[in-house]
Protein backbone atom coordinates (compact mmCIF):
# COMPACT_ATOMS: atom_id res chain seq x y z
CA UNK A 1 0.00 0.00 0.00
CA UNK A 2 1.28 3.47 -0.84
CA UNK A 3 1.86 5.79 2.09
CA UNK A 4 -0.35 8.31 0.28
CA UNK A 5 -3.32 6.16 1.32
CA UNK A 6 -3.03 7.52 4.84
CA UNK A 7 -0.95 10.73 4.53
CA UNK A 8 -2.65 13.87 3.20
CA UNK A 9 -2.22 17.61 2.74
CA UNK A 10 -5.14 19.71 3.99
CA UNK A 11 -6.57 23.02 2.85
CA UNK A 12 -9.58 25.03 3.97
CA UNK A 13 -11.57 23.33 1.21
CA UNK A 14 -10.95 19.74 2.30
CA UNK A 15 -10.07 19.97 6.03
CA UNK A 16 -13.52 19.13 7.37
CA UNK A 17 -13.77 16.08 5.12
CA UNK A 18 -10.22 14.87 5.69
CA UNK A 19 -10.10 15.48 9.42
CA UNK A 20 -13.49 15.92 11.06
CA UNK A 21 -15.40 13.35 9.00
CA UNK A 22 -12.59 10.77 9.02
CA UNK A 23 -12.10 11.21 12.77
CA UNK A 24 -15.57 9.72 13.25
CA UNK A 25 -14.10 6.48 11.90
CA UNK A 26 -10.72 6.58 13.62
CA UNK A 27 -7.78 8.67 14.80
CA UNK A 28 -6.62 11.60 12.67
CA UNK A 29 -3.33 13.31 13.53
CA UNK A 30 -2.93 16.87 12.22
CA UNK A 31 0.55 18.33 11.86
CA UNK A 32 0.62 22.15 11.63
CA UNK A 33 3.96 23.24 10.20
CA UNK A 34 5.77 25.83 8.07
CA UNK A 35 8.79 25.48 5.77
CA UNK A 36 10.83 28.10 7.64
CA UNK A 37 10.45 26.49 11.09
CA UNK A 38 13.30 23.99 11.56
CA UNK A 39 11.59 21.81 14.21
CA UNK A 40 8.60 21.51 11.87
CA UNK A 41 10.67 19.42 9.46
CA UNK A 42 11.84 17.12 12.26
CA UNK A 43 8.30 16.56 13.49
CA UNK A 44 7.03 16.02 9.93
CA UNK A 45 9.64 13.33 9.24
CA UNK A 46 8.97 11.61 12.54
CA UNK A 47 5.20 11.56 12.02
CA UNK A 48 5.58 10.35 8.44
CA UNK A 49 7.71 7.47 9.71
CA UNK A 50 5.09 6.58 12.30
CA UNK A 51 2.27 6.77 9.77
CA UNK A 52 4.15 4.37 7.52
CA UNK A 53 4.98 1.97 10.35
CA UNK A 54 1.38 1.95 11.63
CA UNK A 55 0.16 1.25 8.06
CA UNK A 56 -3.09 3.14 8.19
CA UNK A 57 -4.14 2.71 11.81
CA UNK A 58 -4.34 6.49 11.88
CA UNK A 59 -4.48 9.20 9.23
CA UNK A 60 -1.78 11.87 9.12
CA UNK A 61 -2.91 15.24 7.78
CA UNK A 62 -0.39 18.00 7.16
CA UNK A 63 -1.28 21.72 7.21
CA UNK A 64 1.23 24.23 5.83
CA UNK A 65 0.33 27.31 7.89
CA UNK A 66 2.07 29.65 5.44
CA UNK A 67 -0.41 28.58 2.78
CA UNK A 68 -3.37 27.89 5.09
CA UNK A 69 -3.46 30.89 7.40
CA UNK A 70 -7.23 30.60 7.84
CA UNK A 71 -6.89 27.06 9.21
CA UNK A 72 -4.11 28.14 11.56
CA UNK A 73 -6.34 30.94 12.86
CA UNK A 74 -9.37 28.66 13.12
CA UNK A 75 -7.53 26.24 15.39
CA UNK A 76 -5.55 28.81 17.35
CA UNK A 77 -2.13 27.73 16.12
CA UNK A 78 0.47 30.16 17.46
CA UNK A 79 3.51 27.89 17.85
CA UNK A 80 5.18 25.74 15.20
CA UNK A 81 5.14 22.89 14.96
CA UNK A 82 1.78 22.16 16.57
CA UNK A 83 0.07 18.80 16.75
CA UNK A 84 -3.63 18.07 17.20
CA UNK A 85 -5.27 14.65 17.48
CA UNK A 86 -8.91 14.28 16.41
CA UNK A 87 -11.49 11.62 17.30
CA UNK A 88 -15.27 11.68 16.80
CA UNK A 89 -15.12 15.10 15.20
CA UNK A 90 -13.29 16.77 18.09
CA UNK A 91 -9.71 17.59 19.06
CA UNK A 92 -8.90 15.19 21.91
CA UNK A 93 -5.25 16.09 22.50
CA UNK A 94 -2.86 18.78 21.34
CA UNK A 95 0.75 19.87 21.77
CA UNK A 96 2.73 22.94 20.86
CA UNK A 97 6.37 22.68 19.87
CA UNK A 98 8.53 19.67 19.12
CA UNK A 99 8.11 16.88 21.66
CA UNK A 100 10.54 14.18 22.76
CA UNK A 101 10.72 11.44 20.12
CA UNK A 102 9.37 8.79 22.50
CA UNK A 103 6.25 10.87 23.23
CA UNK A 104 4.80 10.62 19.70
CA UNK A 105 4.04 6.89 19.60
CA UNK A 106 2.75 7.09 23.17
CA UNK A 107 0.23 9.82 22.37
CA UNK A 108 -0.91 7.95 19.27
CA UNK A 109 -1.13 4.62 21.08
CA UNK A 110 -3.14 6.23 23.84
CA UNK A 111 -5.94 6.98 21.39
CA UNK A 112 -5.63 3.82 19.32
CA UNK A 113 -6.29 1.76 22.43
CA UNK A 114 -2.93 -0.02 22.62
CA UNK A 115 -2.15 1.60 25.92
CA UNK A 116 -5.47 3.25 26.61
CA UNK A 117 -5.50 4.71 30.11
CA UNK A 118 -8.74 6.22 31.29
CA UNK A 119 -7.10 8.28 34.04
CA UNK A 120 -4.59 9.87 31.69
CA UNK A 121 -7.29 10.54 29.09
CA UNK A 122 -9.52 12.17 31.71
CA UNK A 123 -6.63 14.27 32.98
CA UNK A 124 -5.83 15.48 29.47
CA UNK A 125 -9.49 16.37 28.96
CA UNK A 126 -9.53 18.37 32.20
CA UNK A 127 -6.31 20.14 31.27
CA UNK A 128 -7.61 21.11 27.84
CA UNK A 129 -10.90 22.25 29.41
CA UNK A 130 -8.96 24.78 31.49
CA UNK A 131 -8.88 22.75 34.71
CA UNK A 132 -5.15 22.00 35.17
CA UNK A 133 -5.33 21.70 38.97
CA UNK A 134 -8.03 19.03 38.76
CA UNK A 135 -5.97 17.22 36.12
CA UNK A 136 -2.90 17.32 38.34
CA UNK A 137 -4.84 16.08 41.38
CA UNK A 138 -6.24 13.15 39.44
CA UNK A 139 -2.80 12.19 38.12
CA UNK A 140 -1.19 12.60 41.54
CA UNK A 141 -3.66 10.18 43.10
CA UNK A 142 -3.14 7.75 40.24
CA UNK A 143 0.63 7.98 40.72
CA UNK A 144 0.21 7.08 44.41
CA UNK A 145 -1.99 4.12 43.51
CA UNK A 146 0.36 2.92 40.74
CA UNK A 147 3.89 4.16 41.57
CA UNK A 148 5.51 2.07 38.84
CA UNK A 149 3.46 3.71 36.07
CA UNK A 150 5.65 6.59 34.93
CA UNK A 151 3.09 7.96 32.47
CA UNK A 152 1.40 9.77 35.35
CA UNK A 153 4.33 11.86 36.66
CA UNK A 154 5.51 12.43 33.06
CA UNK A 155 2.10 13.85 32.14
CA UNK A 156 1.98 15.92 35.34
CA UNK A 157 5.35 17.43 34.45
CA UNK A 158 4.13 18.23 30.94
CA UNK A 159 1.07 20.05 32.29
CA UNK A 160 3.22 22.02 34.72
CA UNK A 161 5.65 22.92 31.95
CA UNK A 162 2.82 24.19 29.76
CA UNK A 163 1.89 26.49 32.61
CA UNK A 164 5.51 27.64 32.93
CA UNK A 165 5.70 26.08 36.40
CA UNK A 166 9.18 24.79 35.64
CA UNK A 167 10.46 24.59 39.21
CA UNK A 168 7.49 22.48 40.26
CA UNK A 169 7.90 20.17 37.28
CA UNK A 170 11.61 19.76 38.03
CA UNK A 171 10.96 19.03 41.71
CA UNK A 172 8.30 16.48 40.79
CA UNK A 173 10.56 14.47 38.47
CA UNK A 174 13.64 14.87 40.68
CA UNK A 175 11.75 13.33 43.59
CA UNK A 176 11.17 10.06 41.69
CA UNK A 177 13.37 7.06 42.51
CA UNK A 178 16.74 6.96 40.78
CA UNK A 179 15.71 3.98 38.67
CA UNK A 180 12.67 5.88 37.37
CA UNK A 181 14.81 8.89 36.50
CA UNK A 182 16.87 6.70 34.17
CA UNK A 183 13.81 5.89 32.04
CA UNK A 184 13.60 7.97 28.85
CA UNK A 185 10.09 9.27 29.56
CA UNK A 186 11.44 10.85 32.77
CA UNK A 187 15.10 11.50 32.00
CA UNK A 188 14.41 13.47 28.82
CA UNK A 189 11.93 16.02 30.23
CA UNK A 190 14.06 16.27 33.37
CA UNK A 191 17.11 17.18 31.28
CA UNK A 192 15.13 19.76 29.29
CA UNK A 193 13.81 21.27 32.51
CA UNK A 194 17.31 21.52 33.90
CA UNK A 195 18.47 23.31 30.75
CA UNK A 196 15.56 25.76 30.88
CA UNK A 197 16.02 26.54 34.56
CA UNK A 198 19.79 26.87 34.17
CA UNK A 199 19.41 29.24 31.21
CA UNK A 200 16.86 31.33 33.12
CA UNK A 201 19.17 31.74 36.10
CA UNK A 202 22.51 32.01 34.28
CA UNK A 203 24.60 35.16 34.12
CA UNK A 204 24.82 36.91 30.74
CA UNK A 205 26.75 34.91 28.15
CA UNK A 206 29.50 37.53 27.86
CA UNK A 207 30.14 37.40 31.60
CA UNK A 208 30.32 33.60 31.60
CA UNK A 209 32.76 33.60 28.69
CA UNK A 210 34.91 36.15 30.51
CA UNK A 211 34.87 33.92 33.61
CA UNK A 212 36.26 31.06 31.53
CA UNK A 213 39.37 33.15 30.84
CA UNK A 214 40.21 32.83 34.54
CA UNK A 215 38.77 29.37 35.14
CA UNK A 216 38.73 27.47 31.80
CA UNK A 217 38.00 24.06 33.34
CA UNK A 218 34.98 25.08 35.41
CA UNK A 219 32.20 22.56 34.56
CA UNK A 220 29.39 24.71 35.94
CA UNK A 221 30.29 27.61 33.66
CA UNK A 222 30.47 25.33 30.63
CA UNK A 223 27.11 23.79 31.50
CA UNK A 224 25.47 27.19 31.89
CA UNK A 225 26.87 28.26 28.52
CA UNK A 226 25.51 25.08 26.93
CA UNK A 227 22.07 25.83 28.40
CA UNK A 228 22.16 29.35 26.99
CA UNK A 229 23.28 28.05 23.59
CA UNK A 230 20.34 25.64 23.53
CA UNK A 231 18.01 28.46 24.51
CA UNK A 232 19.35 30.41 21.53
CA UNK A 233 18.94 27.30 19.30
CA UNK A 234 22.71 27.00 18.74
CA UNK A 235 22.46 23.21 18.76
CA UNK A 236 25.87 22.36 17.37
CA UNK A 237 27.69 24.68 19.78
CA UNK A 238 25.73 23.29 22.73
CA UNK A 239 26.29 19.66 21.72
CA UNK A 240 30.02 20.23 21.27
CA UNK A 241 30.25 21.84 24.69
CA UNK A 242 28.24 19.08 26.35
CA UNK A 243 30.37 16.43 24.65
CA UNK A 244 33.56 18.08 25.87
CA UNK A 245 32.08 18.32 29.36
CA UNK A 246 31.11 14.62 29.24
CA UNK A 247 34.73 13.81 28.48
CA UNK A 248 36.39 16.12 30.99
CA UNK A 249 33.89 15.83 33.86
CA UNK A 250 31.81 12.67 33.26
CA UNK A 251 30.46 12.63 36.84
CA UNK A 252 29.56 16.31 37.02
CA UNK A 253 26.06 16.51 38.54
CA UNK A 254 25.50 12.78 38.03
CA UNK A 255 26.44 12.82 34.36
CA UNK A 256 24.10 15.66 33.44
CA UNK A 257 26.06 16.60 30.31
CA UNK A 258 25.57 13.14 28.80
CA UNK A 259 21.91 13.04 29.83
CA UNK A 260 21.41 16.47 28.32
CA UNK A 261 22.96 15.39 25.03
CA UNK A 262 20.70 12.35 24.88
CA UNK A 263 17.63 14.51 25.53
CA UNK A 264 18.57 16.98 22.79
CA UNK A 265 19.32 14.23 20.27
CA UNK A 266 15.95 12.61 21.01
CA UNK A 267 14.25 15.71 19.58
CA UNK A 268 16.01 15.40 16.23
CA UNK A 269 15.32 13.17 13.27
CA UNK A 270 17.11 9.84 13.90
CA UNK A 271 18.64 10.16 10.41
CA UNK A 272 19.99 13.65 11.11
CA UNK A 273 23.78 13.63 10.63
CA UNK A 274 24.21 15.32 14.02
CA UNK A 275 22.32 12.51 15.74
CA UNK A 276 24.45 9.84 14.07
CA UNK A 277 27.69 11.72 14.82
CA UNK A 278 27.04 12.55 18.47
CA UNK A 279 25.57 9.17 19.35
CA UNK A 280 28.77 7.62 18.04
CA UNK A 281 30.75 10.03 20.21
CA UNK A 282 28.67 9.13 23.25
CA UNK A 283 29.20 5.46 22.53
CA UNK A 284 32.97 6.00 22.40
CA UNK A 285 32.90 7.53 25.87
CA UNK A 286 32.10 4.10 27.25
CA UNK A 287 35.34 2.62 25.92
Give the separation between CA 114 and CA 158, rounded to whole angstroms.
21
Same domain, 39 and 86: yes
- C-alpha distance from residue 89 to each of 13, 19, 28 (Å): 17, 8, 10
Same domain, 213 and 270: yes
Give the separation between CA 74 and CA 70, rounded to whole angstroms.
6
Residue 112 belongs to some domain of the structure = no
Give the separation between CA 131 and CA 154, rounded to whole angstroms.
18
Same domain, 42 and 60: yes
- Residue 137 belongs to domain spanning: 117-180
Please state the φ and ψ torsions of residue 100, each to the nearest 5 degrees.
-60, 145
Which residue, 40, 72, 100, sits at the end of a domain?
A: 100
CATH assignment at residue 45: 3.40.30.10
Same domain, 171 and 187: no
Residue 67 belongs to some domain of the structure = yes
Which residue, 159, 180, 201, sits at the end of a domain?
A: 180
Which residue, 180, 205, 226, sits at the end of a domain?
A: 180
CB-based burial of residue 114 (10 Å sphere; 0-12 exposed, 13-18 middle, 19+ buried)?
exposed
Please state the φ and ψ torsions of residue 278, each to the nearest 5 degrees.
-75, -25
Residue 109 belongs to some domain of the structure = no
Q: pLDDT digits over 72-119, tens only?
A: 999 989 889 999 999 888 888 888 888 888 889 888 887 886 444 678
**Gyration radius (Cα) of the chain, Å:** 20
Total domains present in the chain: 3
Q: Is the peptide bond before 81 cis (omega within 30 degrees of 0)?
A: yes
Q: What is the mean pLDDT of each run of 10 residues along the chain (287 residues)?
A: 71 93 90 91 92 87 95 90 91 86 84 67 87 94 88 92 93 93 86 94 95 95 96 92 95 92 80 86 80
Q: pLDDT digits over 119-142, tens only?
A: 888 888 898 889 999 999 999 999
CATH assignment at residue 187: 1.25.40
Same domain, 168 and 189: no
Same domain, 163 and 223: no
pTM comes to 0.60
Amino acid sequence: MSDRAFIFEASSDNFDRLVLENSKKGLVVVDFWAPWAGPSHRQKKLLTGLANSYRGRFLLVSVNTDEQKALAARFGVRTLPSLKLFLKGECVEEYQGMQAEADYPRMIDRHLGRQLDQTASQAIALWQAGEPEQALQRLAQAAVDAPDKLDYPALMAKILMRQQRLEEAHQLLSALPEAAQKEAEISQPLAHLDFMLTAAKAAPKERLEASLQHDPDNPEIHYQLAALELHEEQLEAALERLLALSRSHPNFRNGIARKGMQAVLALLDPQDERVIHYRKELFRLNY
